[in-house]
Every structure is written in C-alpha cells, then in structure tokens.
Amino acid sequence: MKVNLGTGAQNSHDWERVLAGDFNSPPATPDWQCVEGALALGDLAEPLGFDGIWFPEHCGTPYGMTPNPIQALTYFAGRTERVSLGTFVAVAPWWNPVRLAHQIAYLDIVSKGRYDTIGIGRGVSKSEFDAVGVPREESRERFNECLDILELAFSGERFSYDGEIFSFPEMSLRPEPYSSDLFSRIYSSSSTAESLEILSRRGMVPLFVGNKPIWDAGAEVRRVNTFRKEEGFEPCQPKNVMFMYCVPDESAMKDAAAATEEWIWTANRDVTVHYGFADASNFTGVKGYEAYAAREATATALLADAVQEKPEPGTKKQPGYHASNLLIGTPETIFEKLKAAQEACSFCEVTIVPQFGTMPYADGIESVKLFAREVLPAVHEMAAPLHEAALPVEALA
C-alpha cells in the first residue's frame, strides 16, 4: 500500500492570543518558523521512502497555514524526483476555476505528471470564506460549477461555460497539461450525507481526512459504491488521511503520554475554533450548511462545551478526532491500527500527518524517521483490497 506524508504549518500555541483578541502583540512563535517546520517534514518524504507529499489549504488563522497548496507542491516538485503530490484539500469555492485548472496543469507539467491526487473540497470555515470574499451560501454552487469547468478544461478540447456563478468564453487551457487524465485524479472530501451522494453520483471518489470514526467512513464507502452502481460506475476505494506519532517502545509511550494528550487536545481545540464549530449559529440559516447547524458533536464538529481551558488529565475528555484515526504508539501498535483501519474502510492509500496541535516539529521529525524505519516497509508490503463490507448493497443481495 502507498503511504504519503502530509504536512501543513500549525501555530497552535498562538490560539490563546487570537481568542483573546490580543492583536497588538505578535505571535510568540513567528509563522515563518512553522512554515519552515512543515517544509522540513516534506523534505523527509523522498529520502525516507514515502510515496508522496500532501498539503492542505488554509489561511487567516493559526490552523494549517497553507494559503495555496499547489504553490507548496510546486516547490516540492522542484526538490524531488520520485514522490507523487497531493492536496487534502484544495477548497474549490475560493478559486476562479479557470485559474485553478491552469495551476493544476502547470504543476502537472513541472512534476512530469506526479500530481496524482487532486483532492478538492467545499470548505466550511466562516472566517476563511470571509477572508477571501466568497459568500459561503454559494459554496455548493461554486463547487459544482468548478467541477464542471475542470472536467471541460481537462478534456483536451476548447471549452466555454455559462453557469449561475461563472461564465467563460470559448477558450483553451494553455499551457496544455502534461497528462491527459487529470479529471480522473480528482478526489472529493465531504462531511454531509447530501454532498456525499451528489459527488458519488457524478463519479467522484472520496477522500477521508480523519473527521469520523473509521467504521463510519467504511459505511460511507458502501453508500458511495451503492450510488456509483446506480449510476453505472465501478466500485471504488477511498484514500484516507490519518494522524501519526510513533515512539520506540511501551516505556517511551508511557513517558510521552502527557505530551500526546496535550497535542491531541490542542489539535481538537484548533479544529473547533478554526471552523467555528463551538457556536452552531455560525451555520444556522446558511444555505448548504444545515447539517452543521443541526448536529451536536462529531470528530470535527465540537460544540460549545469543547471550548474551555484544558482540563486536568482524566477529569474531562474533550470530544474530537476518533481514536480509530489516531496512529499513536509503538511501531507494532501503529501497524496493527493501520491494518484494522484498512479492513474497516477499504482505503487503497493512506497519508499520515505527523505533526498536529502543539507538537514541536522536532518531535514530528523524529517520529517520521522512526515510522520510516520500523513501519513503512511493512505497510508497503500490506495488501489494500476492497473488502466485501464496502461493496454496493445490491452486490451482496
């Protein structure tokens, strides 16, 4: 199975300053240092034997801080020769679709076809939509029209488009991409049942980013494949993103227990405040986000009682990323968790994210090196089949 390295710039320690509105003082850690830490992790991918490098898209808060993942991947296209490239995810509604198509095509050229996972999503965070000046209530229409335009642009033919949001005269994609199959490389990330069905019925393959228990993601794969069967598509396998921290042995795990609890807690806190999940009114009445306003708490939708001072260990468990998506432990433990996750979800490829929350980048780097020595070879040998539980319902009748 292929294993990629995912990285983004987290300035998690800065959330206290941001939440306090203390903008007269600078971050204790400059953002550029966090960006350098993320790039240092990416530089490990090829020499350590990983199959790819992935970046997210985020701006405007201390979370994720990669305003253009295609720019970051182009940087790595010039620093590497072998690894593939991926996004988890580019947020389609923030882009002019023709510019997005051209940037994808250009990265395809300079990487000689290595941008093989074009992960895209619809976006959630009110602060990010506001920062880029895009109405959030238009996100679904913008996302759907962006997919239409990318399909036309990557067809190799001249194209035009006249939609509700975007309109373009007849034109060609220039420069033409290096590859002829770019549209088939698009993977979609969705958090609502409605979006999942819409995307599945147009043939999109899901990309899961750790925002639900792994067995719930597995159940969604069956629904995806059921919708695909009804539309005449073959069954598919998703790609998954999972968080990872590797330690040498159980003794080291005991020593690191308090630190890992802190990192997980702050990662969940970061998600809560960045996406605005602590206040359901951020979604109430916003077209396309009704499901976010209605639900109480899931792996990435943590409501008001989750935003608090960090409790003492063992006194209150903050909801957040489910343990089934956290690859934390010894090499043996991580391998067994990965194997169980693949059996539950049928993913064909996994991207590990080795730095999250307030984890120092130096710790993430050491963890990645250990994972590469002790776990990566075994995962490369591990089969990644499409399991019966992920097949369409009709196929089992």
In this prediction, residue 382 carries a pLDDT of: 98
How does residue 394 score in pLDDT terms, banded at 50, 70 and 90? confident
Whether 395 has a pLDDT exceeding 80, the answer reads no
Q: Could you report the per-residue pLDDT of 316-325, keeping only the tens digit for each?
A: 445 457 788 8
- At residue 355, does pLDDT exceed 80? yes
In this prediction, residue 211 carries a pLDDT of 72
Q: Does 154 or 211 have the greater pLDDT score?
A: 154
Whether 38 contacts 74, CB under 8 Å: no
Label residue 252 exposed, middle or buried (CB < 10 Å: 0-12, 13-18, 19+): middle
pLDDT tens column, 112-122:
999 999 999 99
Average of per-residue pLDDT across 88-113? 98
**Residue 320, C-beta contacts closer than 8 angstroms, at least 6 positions apart:** 264, 265, 267, 268, 271, 272, 299, 300, 302, 306
* % pLDDT > 70, the chain: 93
- Residues 280 and 287: their CA atoms lie apart, in Å, by 14
Query: What is the Cα–Cα distance from 299 to 350, expressed in whole angstroms?
Result: 19
Average of per-residue pLDDT across 135-148:
97
Closest CA to 103 of 93, 89, 118, 88: 118
Positive/negative CA dihedral, 250, 256, 258, 263: negative
The count of residues in the chain is 397
Q: Which residue, among 110, 55, 114, has the nearest Cα to 83 in the 3D structure?
A: 114
25-58 pLDDT tens trace:
999 999 999 999 999 999 999 999 999 999 999 9
Asked whether the beta carbons of 52 and 45 are under 8 A apart, the reply is yes
Kindly list the domain boundaries of the chain, sorted by start residue.
Answer: 2-384
The stretch 336-351 carries a mean pLDDT of 97
pTM for the model stands at 0.93
Distances (CA, A) of 122 to 102, 116, 129, 149: 19, 20, 11, 15
Residue 315 has pLDDT above 60, yes or no: no
Q: Average pLDDT, stretch 167-175? A: 98
Residue 270 reports pLDDT greater than 60: yes
pLDDT at 296: 45
> So what's the pLDDT on residue 314?
46
Residue 225 token pair: 């494949």
pLDDT confidence of residue 295: 59
Fold of 2-384: TIM Barrel (3.20.20)
